[in-house]
Amino acid sequence: MTSILRKHLVVAAGVAVLLAASAANAVARPAGSSPAERLRRDTAAIHHLGIAGVQARMVEPDGRQTVATSGTADVTTGRPVSPDGYFRMASTAKTMVATVVLQLEAEGRLSLDDTLGHWLPEVARAKGGGGIAVRRLLQHTGGIKDHLPGYAKKDEYERERYQVHSAEELVAGAEFLDETDWRYSNTGYILLDMIIERATGRPAEREIEDRVLRPLGLDRTRSIGTSPTLPRPHAQAYQLFPAPDGRVDVTEQVPLVGGLSWVTTTRDENAFLRALLGGRLLPARQLAEMKETVPVDSDTATMWQGGQYGLGLVERSLTCGGTYWGHEGGDGGYITLNGVTGDGRRSAVVSMSEARGDTWDHILAQEDAAGALIDHALCAGSPGSG
């Protein structure tokens, strides 16, 4: 699971996505309890794996919200987890980037068939890939292989946590391959940020603020730029490294550019996903385009159990039937899974403030438990859900 260790996240992927579908199908839904009690039980189960702090929020079709927390926000002081605590949004921000690109398409300011060479000719001259279409960047079929900085050990974290990298530097380090196979690429979304700025004359984060956050009143979702700290309140973030490093507080670090510099809350993330799938941010044609999925690589398809990738959205199966949409994120000790039904009426978000990346067993157990929480929350209104 490449999103658990930041080095693997950055090199290969924002991909708490890779296991969430199999997680949802691997754990049976408990019967005979209310949705609120089930959420509390699932949140406690995640903490009992050894994860420092967990906060989860479920929103039902009538707008009722249920919040559950477990564990501690600080293993040194025992401070309780805030139900409204900030966390790093990480790759979930790719969905916001995709939303802005599709809004610009609806306005006729760009086309999904436009090429990298059209919008960023200087990149195409230096790296190749001039024929890569915007759609392929959105869908991770642009053939761009990440080579991004990161860490896998405590001493690497301490050495690299305050390093600042420009978008141009990160793009320069990528490998542009002549292929169309699905390959998760953070660099592709860095390029999309650059295309948004070229098309509008303003930084992508300003467009996201004006087009997505302000219209929805999401005042607790914000870009922190190169700040190594988060707004308060927030849980301390921990990384469980392989021995001998063990658990390390990795809260303080400069985020990478390209969709990894945003912070949010479970309330705002639920509201964003519900608004998007409910048709409040995109015209019907663009939302339909966003939901046009492609198969992922064979290893990922096995883990997703049929999950597929749209334009900045992932579609996965529910154990109660049907599918849901979302895009997880993991960076700097924070791991977040989310999901929303296709009509935007029922959603859930769980944020964990520890990434247990020391062994595959720990990685899989964390993903299984978090994926089960999302599945239970979204299936709560289905027949026979208990």
* Preceding amide of 244 cis, omega within 30: yes
* Residues of the chain predicted below pLDDT 70: 1-32, 257-260, 298-306, 383-386
pLDDT at 381: 73
Cβ atoms of 226 and 254 within 8 Å: the answer is yes
Q: Return d(Cα 201, Cα 234) in angstroms, integer.
A: 34
Q: What is each CA distance from 322 to 46, 315, 341, 343, 378, in whole angstroms?
A: 25, 10, 9, 12, 10
Q: Return d(Cα 370, Cα 46) in angstroms, integer.
A: 7
Cβ atoms of 85 and 219 within 8 Å: the answer is no
Least Cα distance to 231 among 55, 82, 53 occurs for: 82
Q: Return d(Cα 336, Cα 338) in angstroms, integer.
A: 7
pLDDT at 154: 97
Sign, CA dihedral 198-200-203-207, equals: negative
**pLDDT tens sequence across 308-355:** 999 999 999 999 999 999 999 998 899 999 999 999 999 999 999 999
Q: Return d(Cα 310, Cα 287) in angstroms, integer.
A: 10
pLDDT at 73: 98
Q: Return d(Cα 95, Cα 259) in angstroms, integer.
A: 9
pLDDT at 33: 81
pLDDT at 256: 81
Q: Return d(Cα 256, Cα 260) in angstroms, integer.
A: 6
In SS3 terms, the chain reads as CCCCCHHHHHHHHCCCHHHHHHHHHHCCCCCCCCHHHHHHHHHHHHHHCCCCEEEEEEECCCCCEEEEEEEECCCCCCCECCCCCEEECHHHHHHHHHHHHHHHHHCCCCCCCCEHHHHCHHHHHHHCCCCCEHHHHHHCCCCEECCCCCCCCHHHHHHHCCCCCCHHHHHHCCEECCCCCCCCCHHHHHHHHHHHHHHHCCCHHHHHHHHHHHHHCCCCCEECCCCCCCCCCECCCEEEECCCCEEEECCCCCCCCCCCCEEECHHHHHHHHHHHHCCCCCCHHHHHHHCCCECCCHHHHHHHCCCEECCCCEEEECCCCCEEEECCEEECCEEEEEEEECCCCCEEEEEECEEECCCHHHHHHHHHHHHHHHHHHHCCCCCCCC
Q: What is each CA distance from 230 to 152, 253, 358, in whole angstroms?
A: 22, 10, 25
pLDDT at 364: 86
* Preceding amide of 233 cis, omega within 30: yes
Q: Return d(Cα 87, Cα 53) in angstroms, integer.
A: 11
Q: Kindly report the pTM of this predicted structure.
A: 0.92
pLDDT at 251: 97
**In the CATH scheme, what architecture does the domain 6-378 have?**
3-Layer(aba) Sandwich (3.40)
